[in-house]
Amino acid sequence: MRRPSAAFIAIRASHSTCLPAASAAMVISQCVYGQVPMQIASTSGADTTARQSASTRRMPNSLATRSPDSRERLATVTNSTPGCFWKPGIWRSRVFRPAPMKPRRIGLSVMDRPLTIWRDMVPSARTRGGCAMSQRRLRSFAVAVVLIVAVAAILSVRDGAAQGPITISLIDVSGDLSSTRVIIENYQKANPNKVKTVNFQRAPAPELPAKIKAQQDAGRVDVNLLLVGQDAGSVLANNGQLVKLFPEYDRLFPKDELTDAGKVLQSEGEGYLLPSVVSNGGPVFIYNPSKVKSPPKSADELKAWVKANPGKFMYARPANSGPGRSILCGLPFILGDKKPTDPAGGWDKTWAFLKDIGESIEYYPTGTAITLKEFAEGTRWMIAGIMEWDMKPRAEGTIPPDSKIFILPNTSFVIDGHYWAIPKGVPAGEQEIILDLMKFMRRPEQQALTWKAFIGPSIKAATLDRAPADIQKLVQEHWRPEYTDMDKKFKIVPQLPVKDLIAAMDRWDKEVGAQRIKKF
């Protein structure tokens, strides 16, 4: 019969005695090497006596004259082991006898009962350690069991809870850190036992999916938190590169806590994206009142102004910019396209309008910041905007404080916001801490701090009056009357679904941006 492996010994002993495999292996090894007392035991005293008598009758006379200790040794596991219950019939008493001159095989009999230790596994009294071959084989078994247990322990550490504080490594491709960096730092201060340090990185939104895919393909994901907008978020979700958060964590992140816009934003994320901040978005048009004396009052007037002032109007590539996406997805409502939510079959007027004014646009930068910079320098007189990128740049002095806006008739504000997401491949222990950070980020007292960036909280309890006094003052100084009671003045609509938004941005790149996209 083929000898069973060391792992099989430990596993069968574990199943028979309720001991863990490692403990069962230890008991076997200790009994075999004589490190624990050997005793005769069975399920009943009478049975033991009967077995002893029968065994003695079968022993040769030469062995019967030896001392009881050297004549008989029995290794058993009894229900004295803590947490273990005896299983009748699983282990049967076996009398260990001194090894013969020609050692028989050692191993386990698995044909008639679950576990039987053969006599040659026990050292004889004469050699104090059995035959050399038995000793070597048993040592090999013990080493194999130890290795198996060690590997199991390593795997459990890798896949289980985080061991000590972790490093949070995040990438921001949406500008979300301007709203939430203080929250992340507050979490680190409050949880030194969970977070050792935080590595902040920034990158262009279109580059993020490829960067994360390279790490996932290599089997080593170094980034455990992604701060994304609707652009990169939609691509990552569509590619299946993110951990799905909903409905699994519905109880951890109740939807009822969100603002109305936050609920819409979460639905757009299709279960993969957690809203961090949100606003009603745009489109709005920011202009320099010293250069634009009479701002356009309709879409036709806007087109006429752009063509009459070549190079003076600018918006950024939609795949890189909130204001860029806002004008792309907001124009179908303004122009009255037949299907404002169908970029493939319902945006005939929008695609024609964008191509027409594109002839008078010098280039499309890969980022909103360039449009703000050139507007502040006077190179551009009018740019596309959203609520956040109107108020925040004025508050920070990035653009002149006297800059004004106009809103075209029939405007439906397309909700804009940022998300947090976890890439697939992040260890389970790190995921637990990231989820805890996400929960912390949603606390009203933390969300109230996001008012400073003007995009606004995603949690409805985080009203402006809960923000620190300096933030309240800042917002009140730069808030526009156009943004008050917006739901009474305008329609508020969700962003396109993930696949439709990706299709719209791709088509814009090919048909509108074409050779005029300028990377920064």
**If you count them, how many residues does the chain have?**
520
Compare 122 and 330 and report the one with higher pLDDT: 330
Residue extent(s) of CATH 3.40.190.10 domains in the chain: 166-279+416-481, 282-415+502-518
Cα-to-chain-centroid distance, residue 375: 39
| CATH entry 3.40.190.10 includes domain 166-279+416-481 | yes
- Measured CA to CA, the distance from residue 72 to residue 45 in angstroms comes to 17
Q: Is 237 helix (H, G, I), strand (E, B) or coil?
A: helix
CATH class of 282-415+502-518: alpha beta
Nearest CA to 137 among 105, 91, 95? 105
Task: Report the predicted TM-score, pTM, of the whole model to 2 decimal places.
Answer: 0.68
Mean pLDDT, rounded, for 195-212: 96
Q: What is the pLDDT of residues 44-57, one digit of tens each?
A: 444 444 444 444 44
- To 5 degrees, how large is the angle CA 272–CA 432–CA 240? 25
pLDDT for 306: 98
Nearest CA to 194 among 439, 433, 446? 433
Nearest CA to 20 among 11, 28, 29? 11
The helix (run of H) or strand (run of E) holding residue 148 is helix 132-159
Long-range CB contacts for residues 502-505, cutoff 8 Å, separation at least 24: 502/234, 502/235, 502/238, 503/343, 503/344, 504/318, 504/328, 504/329, 504/343, 504/347, 505/231, 505/318, 505/319, 505/325, 505/328
Which segment, 14-23, 139-148, 248-257, is predicted with the most confidence on average? 248-257
Residue 484 CB-density burial (10 A; 0-12 exposed, 13-18 middle, 19+ buried): exposed
Residue 253 CB-density burial (10 A; 0-12 exposed, 13-18 middle, 19+ buried): middle
Residue 358 CB-density burial (10 A; 0-12 exposed, 13-18 middle, 19+ buried): middle
Q: Tell me if 132 sits within 8 A of 162, measured CB to CB.
A: no
Q: What is the pLDDT of residues 402-452, one digit of tens each?
A: 999 999 999 999 999 999 999 999 999 999 999 999 999 999 999 999 999
Cα-to-chain-centroid distance, residue 400: 40
